Structure 1
Amino acid sequence: MKVLVLKIKLRASWVHSLKEKRMILLSISKRLRNKYNVSVGEIGEQDTHKIIEIGISQVASSKDVLHASKEDIITFIEENCEAEIIDIEEEIIEF
């Protein structure tokens, strides 16, 4: 069993409140869960309204599946979220 763990940091420079940030976060989280069957949550920068830091995890039996899924997830975020990706950290854990 292999687990993909992604930490993606986004910048939304036009956001002026935590409420706007939460709306963006909920929208992208819901779409990622529905499309890729992943776990998604806000993991940091919770008091900063211009930075969104999300954690994403997925379980699979093969590293190849996880690498392909990672690329699809990143592309999906770039195409469907107005926020700019400023940092990506990834790790694949094997059990």
Structure 2
Amino acid sequence: MIVKSIVQKLKNKFNISAAEIDCQDVHQTIVIGIAGICGSSAQMDSTEENIINFVDVNTDAEIIDIQREAL
């Protein structure tokens, strides 16, 4: 329930695609995949930073790892 709420808030606020993609059976670990389209790398960096800040402020979660792929 908590994960669904976070994912939906991210989708609504940042106009991105987001889903829990791994560790669904582990109660203390959440892996969320996020995909979006940006017009420039600067916009992508800014959006990524805003998403990280949003998760930090709105959850008790600790971000352990971020994997990024830009195409």
More helix by share: 2
- Normalization by structure 1: what TM-score? 0.71
Match of 2:13 in 1: 35
- For 2:35 and 2:67, the matched residues in 1 are separated by 12
Please give the root-mean-square deviation of Cα atoms over the aligned residues, in Å: 0.8
Structure with higher RCO (Cα < 8 A, 6+ apart): 1
Q: Secondary structure at the match of 1:41?
A: strand
- For 2:4 and 2:21, the matched residues in 1 are separated by 13
* Larger Cα-atom Rg: 1
Match of 2:52 in 1: 74
Task: State the percentage of identical aligned residues.
Answer: 44
Instruction: In structure 2, list runs of 5 or more residues that go unmatched.
Output: none
The correspondence for 2:32, drawn from 40, 54, 62, is 54
Match of 2:4 in 1: 26
Compute the displacement of 1:27 (Å).
Answer: 1.0
Of the structure 1 ranges 35-44 and 82-91, higher mean CA displacement relative to structure 2 is found in 82-91
CA offset digits 1:28-73 (Å, max 9, x no partner): 1111111100100011111111100000011022111111000000
Shift >6 Å, 4+ stretches = none
Instruction: In structure 1, list runs of 5 or more residues that go unmatched.
Output: 1-22
